[in-house]
Structure 1
Amino acid sequence: MSKGPLAPPYRALTIGMVTLVSLVAFEAVAVTTAMPTVARALHGLSLYALAFGGALAAGVIAMVISGRWSDGKGPAAPLWTGVATFVAGLIVAGAAQDMWTLVVGRVAQGFGGGLVTVALYVVVGQAYPAGLHPRVFSSFAGAWVVPSIAGPSLAGLVVEHLGWRWVFLGMVLLTAPAVLLMRPGLRGLAAPAPQAAVVVPGRRTWWAVGAATSMGLLYVGGQQRGVNALILIGLALAGLAVFTPRLLPRGTFAVRPGLPSVVLLRGLAGAAFIQADVFIPLMLTRERGFSPAAAGLTLTIGGVSWFFGSWYQGRRGQRLAPTRRLQIGLALICVGIGTAVACVAPVVPVWVCAAGWTLAGFGMGLSYPTMSALTLRLSKPAEQGANSSALQLADSIFSTTILAVGGTLFASWVSESPQAAYLGGFAIAEALALVGLAVAARAGAPADEPGGPGRAPALAAQA
């Protein structure tokens, strides 16, 4: 019987990594809850969007740097640098006396988080046998889902009783134990191949800067109205169209079998789910008269089922081929979004949407860890960082783009026809999920030999 991720050789490293992922996830969720209070306290409402967009843009650049750094020098250095930068950002934000200083802290948090998340993928690839990868990534998924469920309420209590600064400073105290647990496991990682030992910033870094700038414009443009919004969003979309293909494996948008399709699928699934996830509570509160807490319960149910989907794929789901798991997961997401479409009609009871979103959450839990494990399987050891970076970049760029475009369309339609606005938002999500279902069949091509059919040309060669 194979050892699990919590067996003695892996226990401390697993617990440390899951704790660190939970802290990064909680920071993302908690800041969303605390930011309205922060903006009022620091008189910085005009910089509200930049506090989020700056962190997001910095994370994109950091993901690319971390991938190349991890492949060239091993994951330990970018991981420790990322942790230090993340903690420094928390301290700067927690001590900020004005909004610009807080934005600087948020940018540091985003950059540090981007370094950490990619480096952790490479740690999984080097420190655990391939048979444990699905279970480790299942733990990572749980580490993201739990803060998304409990984070907003906990952050609200911290803001109310301790003050908003402790949303940042409190996490500094929790980071040290996670780092100490991970140190022994990281010492035993294999050194990189000699030919990969030199890390020089390349073109991908500048392409990442271009994509990050475009994402920042997209985020800011989504906060505007009228002509300004159209200009900013148009410039942002043009920039993303130029830079994004250069950051992903060659053949991604041609749906090449294997790794390119896995990366594309990650972007499609993430964007489809988040697009519907944003509009469901809005529809329930505005059109069905639900309280914010009651509407949020639907999302909580989806988060819990995501956790169980991750647990299932890591333990029971391995009896199914990865391609089959992805197809089932995307089919469940399609069904879940379809129930949201149905609930736009007032005659359809809300429990239909709640049941459907439970299925969608399970589908995400089934799909996300499978895609993460497949990425490592379809990567040469010296490409795990670059390909893990591409996987997470696809998720971030696709989700941000679709939310901005969907939000702009919704805002332009909702005053004249709320039903049309909701249908438009959910239709975008359903279309993405259906495309993802088709792509899933091409995501599991075998690639057991170097240069096999499932491998993409090395991203490092583009750098």
Structure 2
Amino acid sequence: MESEIRPAGILARPYALTTVGAWSLVFLAAFESLAVTTIMPVVTSDLNGRGLYALAFSSTLAAGVVGMVAIGSWADRRGPAVPLFAAIAVFATGLAVAGTAVSMPVFVAARFLQGLGAGGITVALYVLVALVYPAALHIRIFGAFASAWVLPSMIGPFVAGYVAEALSWHWVFLGVVALVAVAGGLMLPAVRGRDRARADRVPASAADARRVVEAAVVAGSVVALSSLGGLDRAVAWLLAPPAVVVIGIALRHLVPPGTYRIRAGLPAAVVLCGAAGGVFFGTEVYLPLLLHDRYGLPTWLSGVTLTAGAVAWALASAVQGRLSDRLDPGTALRAGAVLLAGGAALELATVVLHLHPAVAAAGWFLAGAGMGTLYPRISTLVLALSAPGEEGFNTAAKSITDAVGGSASLAVAGLLFALAPFTGPFVFTTLLGVVTVLIAVRVAVTAR
């Protein structure tokens, strides 16, 4: 009877290749994203493109939002197989173009393709999860996906730096192309027969095209908002509210109805993802700078704090996968939000009270544990609350709010940093952490 109640694990025979292939695709997208940060100074120096440094990052973010919407809609209409491999092909093409780029404009275009493909891969994989794995295994596979993002944060910068010095920065991209091909090959058995029958496929509509355009507007506005820190302070604060309004208007058709009202259920779960991302990423970017400037720690040592958060994220994700349905989802959501908010509050306390830097590391360990607890549960809940045929749209909405929440938080934190270094951003993210706890309590009611 036990075997009937408890399904096989995600590495059991029916799911092993799918799990390894999907995990590898998420890992490679994450590795590429984090590795680029390490080698970008070398790339821009070699290609004489320091003036396009920021655009090489923002173009990827913008393309990712568009890729999520376009591939999510496509996967809902015909199934995940063809959209997934189309996204893999675009991602691999971007890697190949970047690895052979001889000018910075070409490199930026390659980064756009990488973001477009990576965003599409994420959503297509979520749709595939809904079709391949039983609901009882969703929390485990999403926990595995979370670990696939955390591991590159620990090894990506070192590996990328070593390859760039020993060979060339070009091989950081070209080497990943072959690995993407292998990961894609592992997915073939999983996607075979998963597309809708030809008679059941839904043709593209004007609404689908409108959502892609709106995604592009959202992405462009987020990039513009993120760029305000380089302007005069008064001008930046003058332009920030209109940018936020444009994002809000364009985003309304890309998220479930009731999202702006934080309606209990799916809308609140989507908002929770964006709020949590805003707390984490809005705080994280300033931690190495705090430890380096205020405490005089060397760069490698200040980065240990980020590693602590990454390790905690991985451990909490693994715990979620093991506990599965034995832990009440509502309890997990509330606990994760409290850990995240507490971590942000400890960073604020470190700055205000001039505490030992070990407190900052401990706080970020808590925040990482909070994210590792929250994200797999949110992903599982979004799929559970999605009607058949809406998995692509809803998972895209979750990913978009995550990207927009993190980017908008970074932009606001940057503006506040100019007014009150470190204190301003950490007050903002701590308050946002409190809001995240309140949203988690609302979501927890649905997750019972």
Deviation at 1:54, TM superposition (A): 1.0
Give the paired residue count.
441
**Bigger Cα displacement from structure 2, 17-26 vs 210-219:** 210-219
TM alignment of 1:142-153, pairs within 5 A:
142-153=147-158
CA distance 1:301–1:102, change in 2 (3 Å)? same
Q: Which residue of 1 aligns with 2:283?
A: 276
Amino acid at match of 2:55: L
1:126–1:190 Cα contact (<8 Å) kept:
no
Deviation at 1:421, TM superposition (A): 2.3
TM alignment of 1:116-265, pairs within 5 A:
116-189=121-194, 191=196, 197-200=202-205, 201-226=208-233, 229-230=236-237, 233-265=240-272
Deviation at 1:234, TM superposition (A): 4.8
Q: Deviations over 1:308-355 (max 9, x none)?
A: 100111112532221210100000111111111111145422222222
1:270–1:395 Cα contact (<8 Å) kept:
yes
Q: Deviations over 1:392-420 (max 9, x none)?
A: 0000011111101211220x22xxxxxx4
- Give yes or no for the alignment of 1:356 onto 2:375: no
Q: Which residue of 2 aligns with 1:451?
A: none
Q: Which residue of 2 aligns with 1:427?
A: 427
Q: Which residue of 2 aligns with 1:390?
A: 397
- Give yes or no for the alignment of 1:62 onto 2:62: no
1:316 aligns to what SS in structure 2? helix
2:136–2:325 Cα contact (<8 Å) kept:
no
TM alignment of 1:374-453, pairs within 5 A:
374-410=381-417, 412-413=418-419, 420-446=420-446
- Give yes or no for the alignment of 1:323 onto 2:325: no
Deviation at 1:193, TM superposition (A): 9.4
1:317–1:325 Cα contact (<8 Å) kept:
no
1:4 aligns to what SS in structure 2? coil
2:245 aligns to what SS in structure 1? helix
Structure 2-normalised TM-score? 0.94
Deviation at 1:289, TM superposition (A): 1.1
1:97 aligns to what SS in structure 2? coil
**Bigger Cα displacement from structure 2, 202-211 vs 304-313:** 202-211
Amino acid at match of 2:86: T
2:59–2:111 Cα contact (<8 Å) kept:
yes
2:297 aligns to what SS in structure 1? coil
Amino acid at match of 1:131: A
- Of all paired residues, the percent bearing the same amino acid is 43
1:344 aligns to what SS in structure 2? helix
Amino acid at match of 2:356: P
Q: Which residue of 2 aligns with 1:13?
A: 18
Within 2, Cα distance between the matches of 1:76 and 1:40?
A: 40
Structure 1-normalised TM-score? 0.91
Q: Which residue of 2 aligns with 1:294?
A: 301
1:380 aligns to what SS in structure 2? coil
Within 1, Cα distance between the matches of 2:107 and 2:437?
A: 41
1:74–1:192 Cα contact (<8 Å) kept:
no
1:163 aligns to what SS in structure 2? coil
2:80–2:195 Cα contact (<8 Å) kept:
no
2:439 aligns to what SS in structure 1? helix
2:313–2:368 Cα contact (<8 Å) kept:
yes
Deviation at 1:356, TM superposition (A): 2.1
Amino acid at match of 1:336: G
**Bigger Cα displacement from structure 2, 77-86 vs 340-349:** 340-349
1:67–1:118 Cα contact (<8 Å) kept:
yes
Deviation at 1:389, TM superposition (A): 0.2
| Structure 2: unaligned runs, 5 residues or longer | none
2:98–2:106 Cα contact (<8 Å) kept:
yes
| Structure 1: unaligned runs, 5 residues or longer | 414-419, 448-453, 455-463
2:259 aligns to what SS in structure 1? coil
Q: Deviations over 1:122-170 (max 9, x none)?
A: 0100110000000000000000000011111111111111111111111
2:337 aligns to what SS in structure 1? helix
